[in-house]
Chain A
């Protein structure tokens, strides 16, 4: 329960950063998707039921601050979460590079699912070309954001919680990598 609350609090912080701070810093329509990082993290470190429920509720929360279609963010985030769960037993989750790669793959999957959900279910909307056009910039932004936030997370853990072992973060620390 406590962990779930932390995830929701982090999603809230990400939402505020993405809606207020990022538009001012980046001066454009592009902004990194910090919640995607959280979804990938949950996919690697939470079970399918608990993690799936948290991610889906998180998607509902995001419908209130992003997009105009209730249920869309929930569907897309759940799909990304399940995709990560699907491969988690087949890969070495102790690699930080994997997490970055999964964020990139998650960005592509997210773009594809948005395009599918809007173009297929709403005949009057065509977003595929627009999404395809935006995807390279979005990939770059998400990659940079993931690198920065992962470094920051490890630094924060080292500085303020040296004896605590936050799930997943220790694995990202280079000192523990082989």
Chain B
């Protein structure tokens, strides 16, 4: 027995360690809606670094995109190029300001149209892995942001707050596989659940007899207790009504372009 234990000890201890880790993960699934101490510490520690680096990199990318690529032109055009570079930089800067202005104005119009108090925030980082869809924003519990609050832009729903530290928060995007949004079709009011599936969504539990067409708009139904009613989720991309089964298979293109998300609005309403 002792010999057997000695021979298999590393394997058994490894298995025990792994089981304990799995058990811890399983237990944590029940308290998934709260930010635990290690997660809060990680957000506190990494948030400022991410915010700083994000600003530096975006600045450098702007310089690279609008300025530096002009350096390698011919010798005789150098003087002209110098002027051109300066003008390009000014133009790029003013373009950037104009675009930012447009985005913020859209957000502001949207904000004024909302009855719920809103808080604008900047996106400072994305998820560390390719498997999940989350972003980090530069507002946290000090500004009243808590877990479960909806996050939107003028185009539609972005996601909901899942972790919050005093100055930063993480948002689970609606395109993440673990996200589910109670939704309905704007035209015929058919209800269902929009689930994340990478770059698109699937609209589950819509009955076979419902008349669903490509291009139909999907909006939040307000039933889940997280998102207020009527926010745009996306548009129907494809409908597959199979011969058997209760429900249709519907794919939805999100209204929000998640690859160009820079500013968002947090709806300061606690989940019901």
A-to-B contact residues, CB < 8 Å: 12, 15-16, 18-21, 23-24, 27-31, 33, 35, 48, 52, 56, 59-72, 74-75, 78-79, 82, 85-86, 111, 114, 117-118, 121-122, 124-127, 130-131, 133-134, 137-138, 141
Contacts and interface: CB of A to CB of B under 8 A. Distances in A.
Contacts of B230: none
Interface residues of B, number: 56
A86 B29 CA distance: 29
Contacts of B242: none
B38 A68 contact: no
A20 B57 contact: yes
A134 B130 contact: yes
B134 A66 contact: yes
B130 A70 contact: no
B245 interface: no
B125 interface: yes
A149 to B, nearest CB: 16
A143 B161 CA distance: 33
Contacts of A27: 259
Contacts of A124: 180
B239 to A, nearest CB: 19
17 contacts: A12-B49, A19-B125, A31-B129, A48-B14, A63-B39, A63-B42, A65-B136, A66-B128, A66-B134, A68-B132, A69-B178, A70-B31, A70-B36, A71-B28, A74-B21, A86-B11, A138-B130
Contacts of B32: 68-70
Contacts of A133: 198
A71 B126 contact: no
A121 B26 contact: yes
B122 to A, nearest CB: 13
Given A12-B49, A20-B54, A82-B17, 12 more contacts: A16-B53, A18-B129, A19-B125, A21-B53, A29-B198, A33-B130, A48-B13, A63-B39, A70-B32, A70-B38, A72-B25, A86-B11
